[in-house]
Amino acid sequence: MQQTAEYPSLNPSSRRIRVGRWLVFLAALPLAALLAGPAAGQSRIKDIVDFEGVRENLLVGYGLVVGLNGTGDTLNSAVFTKESLIGMLERLGVNARETKLKTNNVAAVMVTATLPPFARQGTRIDVTVSALGDSKNLLGGTLLVTPLLAADGEIYAVAQGNMQVAGFSAQGAAESVIKGVPTSGRIPNGAIVEREIPFELASMKQVRLALRNPDFTTARRISRAVNAFVGETSARVTDPGTVELRIPKTYTNAVVELLTDVEQLRVEPDHIAKVVIDEQAGVIVMGDNVRISTVAIAKGNLTIRITETPQVSQPQPFSNTGETVVVPRTDIQVDEEADRKLGVLNKGVTLQELVNGINALGIGPRDMITILQAIKAAGALQAEIEVL
């Protein structure tokens, strides 16, 4: 007898157990996906704080650019260029002080650069070169050896190299074209670090975290997240912009590892309700926490339009008594925008409701700036207004 293929026999209880396990597994999938992804609105600590000692330093220097195609400084008007050129030639063994120099292939420039944190001797950094005198174009120029100094007056790097200028200028007898800024350029890897900034990160006993946007709530959330991660009270808030992190025993002589772990922790930054207004550009930026108390808004303009269309009145052909005159024709139109209605914004409206309500009145960005300032003056805008 042929046996019919069928599923293995399962008793009802075992079937219920397997079905229940599958339901539990399927129900756990959304929860696991939620836990695996970052929570909405959360940011890494490294994106909202600066660690003590991990900072850049600004460098500046004064130098000369040579090799210009007749677009350098005029030595008679740029005295500093002339004196610098003479001093450079004297250091090279050339006496040019008694000579009347007429070259226009040299330009005095300011050289700026940024020294990265923990830059070591021999590291190369980019530099920016900008004309200081009346030079018209630095295209094709070569920067001579230029020491770069920091705020303490010490030399931390030396720059030299061929410039890269993105802009250009061309001029003819009756036309000239200028694109970009030909009096400024860059030298990639144009400076060599000669002095290191002493800072021993590995030997620190505590590190301060400086919030880029100081806030009590955000600082407290950072300290709680760090303490929960290390398992002890190592972080404490000293002020709205600073969280002091004491190196725990589990990270002794491993400050870099601690900062690496801490900067990956996620917290939700908090911020005050603020409305930023740029009146010149007509730009308005409002935070999510902006709220408005109950207020009524009406906006209308009075527009008077006067149009003059004069007409010419002249006599009939071959008439000896008439004369040609200009007859004025004036058309006056008054628009009081009577169709504009009074809008009411209820208490505690959200940002989206605020925008929708103001847009419903047909108001442009510049008029909206005036309305927001009026709402703030009335005490109904629960936010800070910052005018750029």
Residue 87 lies in a domain: yes
Give yes or no: residues 62 and 189 share one domain: yes
> Residue holding tokens 């005159």?
325
Q: Are residues 62 and 175 in the same domain?
A: yes
210, 305: one domain: no
DSSP per residue, 263-325: TT-EE------EEEEETTTTEEEE-TT-EE-SEEE-----EEEEEE--EEE-PPTT-SS---E
pLDDT on residue 341 = 52
Nearest to 156 by CA among 206, 107, 195, 101: 195
Model confidence over 160-181: pLDDT tens digits?
A: 999 888 866 666 655 667 667 8
Selection from 260, 301, 281, 241 nearest residue 369 by Cα: 281
Last residue of a domain, one of 134, 167, 193: 193
Rounded distance, CA 120 to CA 194, Å? 8
C-alpha to C-alpha distance for 363 and 372, rounded to whole angstroms: 12
- Distance of alpha carbon 34 from the chain centroid: 32
pTM of the model: 0.64
Do 189 and 67 have their domain in common? yes
Q: What is the pLDDT of residues 36-79, one digit of tens each?
A: 444 556 889 989 999 888 889 999 999 999 999 888 888 888 88
Which residues span the domain enclosing 226? 206-267
To which residue do tokens 């920091």 refer?
A: 150
State in Å, rounded, how far the first CA of the chain is from the last one: 92
The answer to whether 256 and 51 have CB atoms below 8 angstroms apart is: no
Domain count, the chain: 3
Q: Residue-wise pLDDT tens for the chain (388 aa)?
A: 444 444 344 444 444 444 444 333 334 444 343 334 445 568 899 899 998 888 899 999 999 999 998 888 888 888 888 888 888 888 888 887 777 778 889 999 999 999 998 899 999 999 999 999 888 888 889 999 999 999 999 999 999 999 888 866 666 655 667 667 888 999 999 999 999 888 888 778 889 999 998 889 999 999 999 999 998 899 999 999 999 999 988 888 888 899 999 999 999 988 888 888 877 777 778 777 777 777 666 665 544 555 667 777 777 776 677 677 777 776 666 555 555 555 555 555 665 666 666 666 666 677 777 777 787 787 777 777 877 7
